[in-house]
Amino acid sequence: MTDTNTGTGKILVMGLGNVILGDEGFGVHVARRLKEVDLPENVAVREGGVGGFDLLGYLDGIRQLLVVDVMMMMDAPPGEIFFFRPGPELSEPGKTILSFHQVGVLDLIKMWGLLGFEPDTYFLVTCPEKMEWGMKLSPSLETAAERAVALIRELCVTGLDTGVGREKHPCIP
């Protein structure tokens, strides 16, 4: 696996979320587990946390970006995994940014495009079961994190685009 601190691989897996809010930290928990498994040399893993604008510099040399996060705007049971490529219709309706601390991943993707970084972008997401103070994932997201690691390992070997045929429905039953 490439250096997980530099993002120099052609595929970047970026785990997002706030680890002190339980399930909100799903993406970071997955990134930490991925750092413990064998991945192809062209794959870098980064804990993006709640980095906001700090994440803008990590796409240099990246051909494909896989964002791992929770999405509360989906109508699905907690722990069900979805893998998809975002289209132009993916947005956060009614969102108003009042400070730089409220920049979300969709805003970052738009900003990356303005800076000339346009990697093929994919999302692997789930719905949270609970968002409360604590460093642990709920049981359903703990199981989802293990399944996510297995799926990401597979997709990093076969190609992220091979997962798209699975639609934006659950990837793993």
pLDDT digits (tens, 9 = 90+) for 36-70: 999 999 999 999 988 777 787 788 888 899 999 99
Query: Where on the phi/psi map is residue 22: left (φ > 0), alpha (ψ -120 to 50), or beta?
Result: left
- CB 22 within 8 Å of CB 132: yes
Q: What is the CATH number of the domain that holds 71?
A: 3.40.50.1450
- Pairwise CA distance, residues 82 & 145, whole Å: 12
Q: How far is C-alpha 161 from the geometric centre of its chain's CA atoms?
A: 15
Structural domain harbouring 74: 11-166
Residue 106 in domain? yes
What is the model's pLDDT at position 126?
A: 94
Report pLDDT digits (tens) over 99-112.
Answer: 454 567 777 778 88
Q: In Å, what is the CA distance from 131 to each residue of 13, 95, 135?
A: 23, 20, 10
Query: Where on the phi/psi map is residue 49: left (φ > 0), alpha (ψ -120 to 50), or beta?
Result: left
Does residue 22 carry a pLDDT above 50? Answer: yes
Residue 18 in domain? yes
Compute the mean pLDDT over every residue in the chain, rounded to the nearest whole number: 82
Residue 5 in domain? no
- 159 versus 94: the higher-pLDDT residue is 159
- CB 124 within 8 Å of CB 151: yes
What is the model's pLDDT at position 134?
A: 95
Residue 2 in domain? no
Confidence category of residue 116, pLDDT binned at 50, 70, 90: confident
Q: Write down the pTM of the prediction.
A: 0.83
